[in-house]
Structures are given as C-alpha cells and as structure tokens.
Structure 1
Amino acid sequence: MTDIQYNKEHMAKVYGSSVPVSPKKAIEISNLLRNKSLAFAKATMNDVVENGKAIPYTRFNKGVGHKTGIGPGRYPKKSASEVLKLLNSLEANAQFKGLDTNNLVIVKMVANKSSKVWRYGRMRRRIMKRSNIEILAEESKKDIKKKSVAKKPEVKKEEKITTGPKKPDVKKPVPEVKKEEKKPEVKKPSPVEKKAPEEKKPEEPKPEEKKSEESNPTQKNESKKSGEKK
C-alpha cells in the first residue's frame, strides 16, 4: 500500500491510540472500509452493532465459520462500536474544516499493535489486546476538480451614490510662476588716466623782435657790458 500524505486543505484525520480492539479484528474492519465512502462505513458499523451484520474475514480466517453471501466471517460488535466512535470524530473534524461530509472517501485506514498492559482482578495473568487506528478521509476527486475549475466571482467596484444636486467642478487656480526680470547692467566708469604735465616749450621770439635785434647790434653789446660791470 502506497503511503498517502496528509493534505490539510482537502483531508480530515483521526487517530485512536490504545483502542480496546484486537489488532486482528481491527485489520479485518480496516480492509473492509478502506476506499469506501464515510457514509457507507458508518452505516456498516451501525448494522454490525445493532442488527448483527457479519463482517467478512479475508486474512485471519482459519477455523472461521461460513456466512451466507460473504464466506468466512464473524460479528465483532465491540470492535465495530469503537470504530464507529472514530468515524463520528472524523466527520466532526471534516465539518470543522468546512469539507463536504457527503462526499468524503476513506483514503487510508491502518491498524497497528499498541502497548501491552496486564489485566487485573480475576483476569490477571492475561494481556490486554489494544490497537492504534489511523483514518484519513478526503473529498472525492470530482469535487476537488470542480472547485479548482470554478472561477472566482468577479468583484464589482462599488460606485459612490451621491444625493442632492451635484456640485460644480471647481478648478483650483494654479499659481503663476513669475519669471525673474533681468536687471540692466550698470557700467562702472572706467578709471581716468592721469596725463603727465606737458613741458612748456620756450617761446620763440617773434620775427619783428629778431629783426630789431639784428638791426641794433650795438644795443646787444652795451647790454653785455653793463651786465659784466654789475
């Protein structure tokens, strides 16, 4: 048997530890209910407890009497009542997860030996027969495919309903950005260069004076002499 992994989204699980059921009877019941619907399993266990329906023994059937229509079988009422409790717990777990209990299928049902405990009282020197039973139920594959194919409902955006007259749309004035005016450039006065003082040229004698001097050379000589005397 292939190991089936537990899927939390589509599966429900129940585990019975140290259930007071013989491992052989638990194995025969699990072989009968495996891969059956949860409703069928509950109805079968209920028939065994109340109406005394026989369960076929396919593995541990040495010396087991024949029953009409099923072959070797027995009536494990106490074992069926314990398994029925686990099935009811499994259904409650599935409802809590929101799974469809009408379409659940028992995918895995395993029974193993549990701890050995000695009985007490008159039944001393005997060991209790206990089992660990694990049951996994999954929604039928058809339902899983339908859920995956079903499209998500489109969510329409809610339109805001306003009562009364509509307010006119008032456009907010956009502040104008003033352009910076360029200031006229003020030209600084260029530094005035100081001109060097002009040297005065000696005045040339007028032509009339030259003529007079040339005409009176005696006056020049006299003036020279007077200067020497002084």
Structure 2
Amino acid sequence: MVTKKIAKKDQVENKDHMASAKSLNLAISTKHGVEISSFLRFKPLSFAKSYLEEVANLRKAIPFNRFKRNVGHKPGMAAGRFPEKAAKEFLKLLNSVEANAQFKGLNIANLKIVKLLVNKAALPMTGSRHRRSTKRTHIEVEVKEMGVKKKDSNKEASAAKPVKTKIEKKEAEKKENTTKTVKKETQKVKEDQKEEVKEAKEE
C-alpha cells in the first residue's frame, strides 16, 4: 500500500511538468502514423518539429520498420517513405502541445516526447453509387519538461523549522537538567519510603 501512495505522489508531481494534446479522426494513413510515432517517440520536441518540416518538404524520409513490404530504400536508411500529409498533421499536433506547455509555464527548450500513440479510428463510408471506406486516425501526444529536480520534502520540512538561538538552547538544557534532577529525587523518596515500610514490618 505504501508503494502505491508513493507512485501516486510521483505521478501528481510529474503532471505539473507535462502537457498533452489529441487529434481525432484525421484523414491520414494509420500505417504512416505508426511509423512516424515509432520514429519520433522519446525524441526532443524541437528535433521532431524540425524533422517533420523536412519530411513535409520532401527533403528527409521516415524510416519504415514495420510496414515495409515493397518499400524502397531512401538515402541514409533502408526502407522509408515521405508521408507528406501525415507529417503535416503531426506537425500541427506538436505545435498545439507546445502551446499547451507554454501556457502551463514549462520551458519549451527542454520538452521531450514521452508518449506518442496512433490508433485506428472508425472508417466512414463515402460515395453514393460506389461506396468505399476512407482512412481515419487518432493521434495522442504527451511531452515532459526534462531537467527538473524533484522537491525534497525532508529538506523543505527542515527549512521550515525555526532555528533556535544560543539562549533558547541553554534554557532548554536547563529545563532538561531540572527534570532529570526532579526524577532522581522522586525515585530516592520512593526508595526511602519502601525501606521504612520494610523496617516497620520487621519490627
């Protein structure tokens, strides 16, 4: 039970240094989204934004590690593609999560993508005579401010305690000494009374 409470406290503290954003029912390929998310996950937010801009301008490719059947090689990597449409949607989402982090007062330069999920959405049917399903995708991103030290509750408690002066320390020592002497005297009195009772019984 104690470990669970500690974990909950850590989660609450971490949420203060995190920001999130969602985009639902995007008209992009779920496969492209999965490859982009697997490549950008746990990367700095600044790197992800700059790389997506290069992908949108067809200058850099996204490596495809899962859905790579019949996918050609690209410069500097094996299988890869230029998912221009998906890259633009991801870039919009990263800009929105950056704005959310800025609103919370986080340092934008130290943001890191800690969660990037892509899920397949419901497929709507389009067309009147020749109906077909269209692509829809959900994206969820979460960033965290790195380089933030955790608050030490013990240090805060010690800092909150008032510092005793020399005079107060001396007075406290005197009180302790007086209490000790009083206890000793009471013990002696009790022992003397016991001895007197024993002598009276013997007589």
**Common fold by TM > 0.5:** yes
The structure where strand makes up a greater share of residues is: 2
The CA distance in 1 between the partners of 2:58 and 2:32, in whole Å, is 18
Normalised by the length of structure 1, the TM-score is 0.58
Paired residue for 2:151? 148
Give the number of the structure whose alpha-carbon radius of gyration is greater. 1
Instruction: Tell me the SS of whatever aligns to 1:144.
Output: coil
Paired residue for 2:6? none
Gaps of 5+ in 1: 155-230
Paired residue for 1:64? 71
Contact 2:118/2:137 (CA < 8 Å) preserved in 1? yes
Write the deviation string for residues 160-199 of structure 1: whole angstroms up to 9, x where unpaired.
Answer: xxxxxxxxxxxxxxxxxxxxxxxxxxxxxxxxxxxxxxxx
* Shift of residue 19, structure 1, vs aligned partner: 1.2
Match of residue 137, structure 2, among 131, 135, 157: 131
Normalised by the length of structure 2, the TM-score is 0.66
The CA distance in 1 between the partners of 2:62 and 2:100, in whole Å, is 27
Which portions of structure 1, spanning 4 or more consecutive aligned residues, are displaced by more than 4 angstroms? none
Paired residue for 2:88? 81
The CA distance in 1 between the partners of 2:70 and 2:110, in whole Å, is 38
The equivalences for 1:32-71 within 5 A come to: 32-71=39-78
The structure where helix makes up a greater share of residues is: 2
Give the count of matched residue pairs: 144
Instruction: Tell me the SS of whatever aligns to 1:98.
Output: coil
The CA distance in 2 between the partners of 1:54 and 1:41, in whole Å, is 13
* Shift of residue 8, structure 1, vs aligned partner: 2.9
Gaps of 5+ in 2: 1-10, 160-203
* Shift of residue 20, structure 1, vs aligned partner: 1.2
Contact 2:63/2:77 (CA < 8 Å) preserved in 1? yes
* Shift of residue 51, structure 1, vs aligned partner: 4.0
Cα 1:100–1:19 shift into 2, 3 Å: same
The CA distance in 2 between the partners of 1:125 and 1:44, in whole Å, is 37
The equivalences for 1:124-203 within 5 A come to: 124-140=130-146, 143-145=147-149, 148=151
Paired residue for 1:120? 127
Instruction: Tell me the SS of whatever aligns to 1:30.
Output: helix
Contact 1:52/1:77 (CA < 8 Å) preserved in 2? no
The CA distance in 2 between the partners of 1:53 and 1:121, in whole Å, is 39
- Percent sequence identity over aligned pairs: 48
